[in-house]
Every structure is written in C-alpha cells, then in structure tokens.
Amino acid sequence: MKFFFALLALAVTGSLLNAAPIKVVCTTGMVADVVRNVGGDRVEVKALIGEGVDPHLFKPTRDDVSKMLGADMIFYSGLLLEGRMEDTFKKIGAKGKPVVAIAGELDKTTLSGDEHHPDPHVWMDPVLWAQTVPVVAKALAARDPEGRATFEANAARFTGELKSLDEYVKRVIVTIPAERRVLITAHDAFHYLARATGITVMSIQGISTESEAGVADINRLVDEVVARKIPAVFVESSVPDKNVRAVMEGAAARGHTLVLGGTLFSDAMGAAGTYEGTYKGMLDHNATIITRALGGEAPAGGMSGRLKP
C-alpha cells in the first residue's frame, strides 16, 4: 500500500513537473517556428521580433528583457543577425540561463560572405536551416530530458517537411527561363536561396539594412535590369522600398518596363496565425511569387495550395 502511494506521489509530482512546458523566448519568428515545431506541447514560445520589424536594427525594450529573464531558455538566430542584442545575450547568459544561437553552430565554411562576417540569412535555404533543428532538439532535451523522445521525433518530422519544401523551391525556380532568372531586392537577404537554386541575386543595399546605397549602386542595377531584360523586382516586408522604386524609375526612363513582382519575406515572416506566418509558408510564398513574376510556372496556391492569392 505504502509502495502504491509512493508511486502515485512520484507520478503526480513527475507529471506536475512535466506538465509545465518550457518557457522559451526567441528572437525572430523563424527561430520561434523551429522551436515550436521541435518542442511541440512541451514548449511555450514567445517571439520578440514581430513581423515587419527589421532584426538587424532591433533593440530590446525593458519589456523584452524582462520577458527574456522570465523565460527558461532563449533561442536566437546568431551570426550577428540580431546585431544590437549581443550585449543583452551575454548578460543573460552570464546569469546561468541557456542562451542558444541556433545558427551559430553551423560550419562556417559552408556559409557565404566574409570569414569574419558571414551572411546570417541562413533560413533562406531550407537545407541549411534544417541543420539548426538538431541543435534545438539537443538544447531542449538538455533542459527537459523526459521529452527527449518527443523532441527527436518532432525534429525528424520537421526535417522531412523542410526537405520537401526544398524540393518544391528548387523545382519551381528552375522553371524560370534562364536569362530571366535574376532576383533583385532591396538588401542582400536571399543569397542562400541563390546558392541553393542557382538563381542570381542582386541587391541595392548591402547585407545589412543599416548601410545606404549610393547613386552608382542604383545606376549599376538599372544597367543590369535593362541589359538582361528582367521583368520584375521585389520589395521586402521589413525594409523600406524607396531604393527599389528608384530602380524601377530608372529602368522606365530607359524604356524598359519593370514591374513590382511582389513583397517577399526576408528578415521577418508574415502575420502571426496565417500560413505565411510560418517558416514553410514564408519560403513557399517567396518561391512562388518569385517564380510567377519572372515568368516561371508555379501553382498560385503554392506548394500545398495554402497561399493567399
């Protein structure tokens, strides 16, 4: 009898302990998406950087910091994407809280850009982004060993989904006629997409949105657009579109009609609660929009018909 009660007590305590999901705070929506997918019910995720906000320039408010302090774990993208938060992460990490840069572990040699300043937009390549999944799973399991099996199962499922996403993206982009396979945007966020799919990317500003374009940069892009007869350019949801409009005007002055192909999600996902507000939806949307605007073939509803028209 005593043994039975002891077991019951243990089970109850155990389930009480396990009933409380891990409180996780993430920076970007993309990171939050990974953690949610891997953690499932065992995590409660909050993202600090909302849609339409530029993570390169994001500065945490007191509210954000207290959210981070109140959480059990913190995940962020890394590679200096959240450039202004490095100090905050250090301070919080010093307090003993697990602060994990999920892309920070990636093999630098597989990344583009400068050795000291690799391009942080790794989520643009689903295969590359899939490499962050085991990192998340491992970190979560360290905090919650009971859930290890769940985490690993979720991770495997999610990685599979990312693989089909990758196949879709590559499939549709390739249907764009070769000479038109050029993606022009405001800033250099899509480099990994280019690398994965073979599309060429050009941008007006540099890698960070803090830099400013010069007149020569705009002219250069107009030259490219006219020379290659590129039909469309794209704006981004979190970056002002002035530059892109200037390029459109320059091309028009040379007699070449350049249309706005659509708004891409680069540093932030779509509205929360919508399909575009998930990682899959984000890339699905991007790939589909780009393909259709540049003259390739892609279904209007995207990969699984869930895109808004």
Partner 1 sequence: MKPWPNFPGGEVRSAEMETFWRLISLQDHNTRIVLAGACALGAAAGLVGTFLLLRKRSLLGDTLGHATLPGVAAAFLVAEALGYAGKSLPVLLVGAALSGVTGMAAVILIRKFSHIKDDAALAIVLSVFFGAGVTLVTAVQQLPGGNAAGLDHFIYGKTASMTTSDAMVIFGASLAVAVMCVAFFKEFALLCFDEGFAGAAGWPVRLLDVVLMTLVVVVTVVGLQAVGLLLVVALLVIPPAAARFWSDRLGVMAVAAAGIGLLSAALGVAASALFPRLPAGAVIVLCAAVFFAISMIFGARRGVLVRSYGERQGMVRLRREHLLRAIYECAEELSSPEQAVSVSQLLAKRPWKRNALRREIEHAAEAGLATAAVDGGDVQLTGRGVAEARRLVRNHRLWELYLLHHAEVAPARIDRDADLIEHVLDPKIVDELEALLDSGRRETFVPGNPEKLPT
Q: Is 66 in the site for partner 1 (CB under 8 A)?
A: no
Interface with partner 1 by CB under 8 A: which range of 34-42, 66-74, 161-169, 250-258? 250-258
Q: Among 276, 238, 241, 278, which Cα is nearest to 261's?
A: 241
Among 65, 174, 246, 260, binds partner 1 (CB under 8 A): 246
Q: Is 117 in the site for partner 1 (CB under 8 A)?
A: no
Q: Following DSSP, what letter does each residue of 87-135 receive, concatenated?
A: HHHHHHHHTT--EEETTTTS-GGGS-B-SSSB---GGGSHHHHHTHHHH
First vs last C-alpha separation in the chain: 64
Torsions phi, psi for 24 (to 5 deg): -120, 135
Q: Is 166 in the site for partner 1 (CB under 8 A)?
A: no
Q: Which lies closer to partner 1 via its Cβ, residue 167 or residue 249?
A: 249
Q: Is 242 in the site for partner 1 (CB under 8 A)?
A: yes
Interface with partner 1 by CB under 8 A: which range of 9-17, 35-43, 44-52, 143-151? 44-52
Among 23, 143, 170, 245, binds partner 1 (CB under 8 A): 245
Distances (CA, A) of 170 to 51, 194, 198: 26, 10, 9
Bridge partners (DSSP) of residue 232 are 259
By rule CB under 8 A, what string of x and - marks binding of each residue 187-216 to partner 1?
----x---x----xxx-x-x----xxxxxx
Within 8 A by CB and 6+ apart from 1, the residues are none
Measured from the CB of residue 33, what is the shortest distance to partner 1 in angstroms? Answer: 16
Query: Total residues at the site for partner 1 (CB under 8 A)?
Result: 47
78: left (phi over 0), alpha (psi -120 to 50) or beta: left
Q: Which lies closer to partner 1 via its Cβ, residue 93 or residue 214?
A: 214
Q: Which lies closer to partner 1 via its Cβ, residue 89 or residue 192?
A: 192
Among 72, 152, 161, 224, binds partner 1 (CB under 8 A): 224
> Which tokens go with 150?
């769940």
User: Is 55 in contact with 81 (CB distance < 8 Å)?
Assistant: yes
Measured from the CB of residue 188, what is the shortest distance to partner 1 in angstroms? Answer: 9
Measured from the CB of residue 182, what is the shortest distance to partner 1 in angstroms? Answer: 8
CA distance 307 to 168: 14
Q: Is 219 in the site for partner 1 (CB under 8 A)?
A: yes
CA distance 286 to 278: 12
Binding site for partner 1 (CB under 8 A): 50-54, 61, 112-113, 191, 195, 200-202, 204, 206, 211-220, 222, 224, 227-228, 237-240, 242-243, 245-247, 249-250, 252-254, 268, 270-272
